[in-house]
Chain A
Amino acid sequence: MKSIGLETPRNGIAHSLEEAKQVQATLGFPCIIRPSFTMGGSGGGIAYNRSEFEEICRRGLDLSPTNELLIDESLIGWKEFEMEVVRDKNDNCIIVCSIENLDPMGVHTGDSITVAPALTLTDKEYQRMRNASIEVLRAIGVETGGSNVQFGVSPEDGRMVVIEMNPRVSRSSALASKATGFPIARIATKLAIGYTLPELANEITGGVTPASFEPAIDYIVTKIPRFTFEKFPEADNTLTTQMKSVGEVMAMGRTFQESIQKALRGLEVGINGFSPLVDLADEGALALIQHELRVPGAERILYVADAFRFGLSLSEVGDLSSIDPWFLAHIEFLIEQEQQLSGKALADLDFDGFFELKRQGFSDSRMAELLQVVEADVRAARLELGIKPVYKRVDSCAAEFASPTAYLYSTYETVCEAAPTSREKIMVLGGGPNRIGQGIEFDYCCVHAALAMREGGYETIMINCNPETVSTDFDTSDRLYFEPLTLEDVLAIVEIEQPTGVIIQFGGQTPLKLARDLEAAGVKIIGTSPDAIDKAEDRERFQQMLHQLGLKQPANRIVRTVEEGLVGAAEIGYPLVVRPSYVLGGRAMEIVHKASELEYYLKNAVVVTPDSPVLLDRFLDLAIEVDVDAVCDGEQVVIGAIMQHIEQAGVHSGDSACSLPPYSLSDELITEIEVQVVAMAMALEVVGLMNVQLAVQAGQIFVLEVNPRASRTVPFVSKCIGRSLAKIAARCMAGTSLKDQGFTQQIKPDYFHVKEAVFPFGKFPGVDPILGPEMKSTGEVMGIGRTFGEAYGKAQLGADDEIPAQGRVFLSVRDPDKDQLVGIAKDLLDLGFKLCATRGTASVIADAGLTVEVMNKVMEGRPNITDAIKNNEINFIINTTEGQQAIKDSFAIRRNALQHNVCYTTTMAGGRASIEALRHRAEMQVYCLQEMHAALLDRPGVNTMKLGS
């Protein structure tokens, strides 16, 4: 960087704690530590003092595959920018997009609110940055492709430093592509194979202009990250240089005000704009606000709004947060608008006043709160005044050229560019921002639904606000509305497009939540009716249905008060699974073992009220959990697949590994499961997809849950059976029967397929990596094998959790697991492992005449198990536990195992599966998915439609 005249933050590289200390001495505190070659800045942090410094360095050295740390001078509070640059082999360089972080330096850019284009630079500053970013690409030697260059700018004196450059497409390039309509990855790929920018067409203008230009945007894009700290209560929720968000929402508006307010309501975290968080009358309010502005957390932007409500001045908020005054001024203005509005009555608003508020991005529902009326009243008053959004096109050229591409966003102006057609249309509602429990699996389903409908001759319309998805590519559907998935925004699009049918069952809970209101507004929802969806989700109606069908359910109660809960629990017995109704991803779901735990849960974890009841289910200990995906056209049900979970019931289905086909269920059981699933699908009058979760305990089948919608496992099943369930289901919804589609019987693959969950525990120091009823995984992998063992082993390998072939196994298991213990111990010894165990566990093993060493628990003095883990003396850990105290006591084992990359499992089933994998270790082979699918379709009785369709 020096050779091209650019400054970088003062920094140093260290390969040991000693070296790190020497570097730190030259930089002072605070300083920023980043381990080399970890994704998302994993393991990094900001140190303000020596002890923090040492802790972060130790963790970073462990996590970095090259044991290397980059230690930088702190630029906390500086303005942060990113330039998305594309270069071709002839040295033609273009800036696709500039991005400005609203959150100043110190917060990972993935965790920052960002806007595009950069908004607070003068042209001179911007051009300097543009020149610098191109020089960086040349100096680094990026011959072709997209890169991202990050800059810090001092708000004091304008000093500009290069922070980082990524010579590859990144999270930001995905965002930049959606923000501008310029598909960076696609263009970069073509450049890599030898094309130059002027040779490539800008697709969004229909090719009338070349790719060698810089997109001009006549709107403002805001991205807000979505966090899931509620899933990891022990995690430190301060935002640092280590990325912690799990998803993001993007919104477009003609002003920054409109853009950020749309993004806030698109987040789906229960806010509809700058909703207040702080009770301003509380005596600690000011201190809380000051703290939240100074120490960035997930909701800082809302505290900024509260600071203005409290009466802090712009400069006070600026001093505390270091956010640029330009952004703060807009937020301050919006809060003033809110305060004026809250003194008014709805009838006081005339056309001009109402229109102005809509231009500023206020949602109907936020206005309703401020005016103390219901949202429907605001909508009615708005429509009465004739105020409706218009739609503008994202065309990469600010309307300089006419664009045939219908990539649209709403705003409040006069000219509408939507130009809807009169074709038959199907609209698909997407899943909104990724979060734990609702991720890309649902986007897969939405995309496949859109593809199937396009193949079926319909015009397809997608609504979504997640820039990380394929559904928001402008060519996935015929028309894309990049809009928040709220009732107001969806209804406005329905009104302008008048679709023949709307599909809501593929986007997860996000569109399902709108089902009733959309139907009430006269929107034609195709597929399973909202009433049937309600029947499956409403416990009482569902129970009635199961009763009529003669199916079993774990004993359960719906309780509306603490007392009712304790009485109900005593009737059905402990342990219990407890959860609030209407949730996805097992939010706030827990297993309680005794009355005191239940009481605590009902009073503290969730607040039980008559309006928000809590469900108690008898927990089926040691039961096998089974997931079934099926598709139904109203006449016939075809099972997509039956999947057997590896982990026992009680571990959330999204966190459990599962095997397709089942690896230990009898044929009779499988047949019985099929019969039950078909009966339920018919009773619910499902048209489209249905997912059923069952538990098998002592040969008995219990129905845990039925969801008449796309499930997390639909993409996995589709990959295993070679047919896209989502496409098939979408066609059913549009009226094509399963028979006409040639999909009339279950496809049972010859190979085993194991899906394994991937967890973010490494990113959250202090979090217990134990599995439970609340979902915590953020991704998944799949392994295929001739045997279950081979498939499971490959899945573990894919999840970066390789099972060791030899060494020392540490065992510590809870009492109910002790009867399975000897079998596992013997198998491990046969495989050549040495065993060590805690006292209780060891005595069971020793009593069976097997060799085992006793290892101290953490509480039993030194050296103990955590010392052994730290000294690399343990290669594999099987640690099962139950009850709050025991879980607490064994926390250090799991956390240390995670930190030192020791393979561990927290279930006996996981231990057995690992042994299976080791037995079949030698068989591991690579299989061709296409060949496997072709073989499946060649079977007699299976209609050979196009592969993958």
Chain B
Amino acid sequence: MRLTHIQTFLEARHPNVWDLSWTSIDGTCIRIAKTQKMGHGHHGANHPVQDLKTGVVMITSQNHGFCLDESQLSDQVEVTHRSLFDGTIQGVRHKTAPAFGFQGHPEASPGPHDVAPLFDQFIKSMTKRVG
């Protein structure tokens, strides 16, 4: 999926899931935030990520060396998840469009399946859009 497509989808209010590690590379395009290089990045299958709304901690697979720069965060999105290792942004949601992003490997292969509900969430928003 190209970035231009994301923008089109967003404008059309199509449901969208972003992988933050690559959308953020060119964050300016959709204006989530600028990215910054991390110290040694996130690598491993044991990273705790907290859902800020529910407080629930998910153990996730991660493999990235950049994260969103908090100070440059677009006001179109809100932060939904954070890393408990270093507090960096792990998830954002578009405030008006049915779109969200996750900074890890929700497909988790290899890795734990704690993030699987994100797929349910995406399927739900697609069903809603179609239905």
Contact = CB atoms under 8 A, between A and B. Distances in A.
A94 B59 CA distance: 8
B44 A212 contact: no
B44 to A, nearest CB: 6
B34 interface: no
Given A94-B59, A127-B110, 7 more contacts: A90-B57, A95-B59, A198-B48, A198-B84, A213-B47, A214-B112, A400-B44
Contacts of A197: 57
B12 interface: no
B112 to A, nearest CB: 6
B23 interface: no
Interface residues on B, range: 20 to 34
Interface-central residue, B40, B57, B109, by most chain A CB under 10 Å: B57
Contacts of A130: 112-113
Contact of B57 (A123, A131, A198): A198
B56 interface: yes
Nearest to A92: B57
Contacts of B59: 94-95, 213-214
The 3 A-B residue pairs whose C-beta atoms are closest, nearest first, are A123-B110, A214-B46, A92-B57
Interface residues of A, number: 24
Contact of A213 (B55, B56, B85, B111): B85
A793 B57 CA distance: 52
A515 to B, nearest CB: 44
Contacts of B25: none
Given A127-B111, A131-B113, A216 B44 contact: yes
Interface in A528-544: none
Contact of B84 (A90, A123, A210, A215): A210
Interface of A: 90-92, 94-95, 123-124, 127, 130-131, 196-198, 209-210, 212-216, 397-398, 400-401
Given A90-B55, A198-B84, A210 B48 contact: yes
Contacts of B45: 214, 216
A215 B45 CA distance: 10
A212 B57 contact: yes
Contacts of A210: 48, 84-85
Interface of B: 40, 43-48, 50, 55-57, 59, 84-85, 108-113
A216 B43 CA distance: 11
B56 A90 contact: yes
Contacts of A213: 46-48, 59, 84-85
B105 to A, nearest CB: 12
Contacts of A196: 55
A215 B46 CA distance: 7
A398 B50 CA distance: 22
Contacts of A127: 108, 110-113
Given A90-B56, A127-B113, A209 B85 contact: yes
Contacts of B44: 216, 398, 400
Nearest to B40: A400
A198 B59 CA distance: 12
13 contacts: A94-B59, A95-B59, A123-B110, A127-B108, A127-B111, A198-B50, A198-B57, A209-B84, A213-B47, A213-B59, A214-B45, A398-B44, A400-B43
Contact of A216 (B40, B46, B109, B113): B46
A123 B46 contact: no
A176 to B, nearest CB: 15
Contacts of B56: 90-92
A92 B45 CA distance: 16
Contacts of A209: 84-85
Contacts of A401: 85
Nearest to B47: A213
Contacts of B57: 90, 92, 197-198, 212
Nearest to B116: A131
Contact of B109 (A91, A95, A123): A123
Most chain B CB within 10 A, of A90, A127, A210, is at A127
Contacts of B111: 123, 127
Nearest to B59: A214
A127 B111 CA distance: 7
Contacts of B55: 90, 196, 198
A131 to B, nearest CB: 6
Contacts of A91: 56
B55 to A, nearest CB: 6
A873 to B, nearest CB: 60
Contacts of A94: 59
B46 to A, nearest CB: 4
A215 B47 CA distance: 10
A400 B56 CA distance: 23
A212 B49 CA distance: 9
A170 B46 CA distance: 24
Contacts of A216: 44-46
A213 B43 CA distance: 13
A212 B84 contact: yes
Highest count of chain A CB atoms <10 Å: which of B46, B56, B84, B110: B46
Nearest to B85: A209
Among B43, B47, B59, residue most surrounded by chain A Cβ atoms (within 10 Å): B59
A92 B84 CA distance: 13
Contacts of B84: 198, 209-210, 212-213
A398 B45 CA distance: 12
A447 B57 CA distance: 37
Contacts of A398: 44
A398 B56 CA distance: 24
A216 B111 CA distance: 12
A127 B84 CA distance: 22
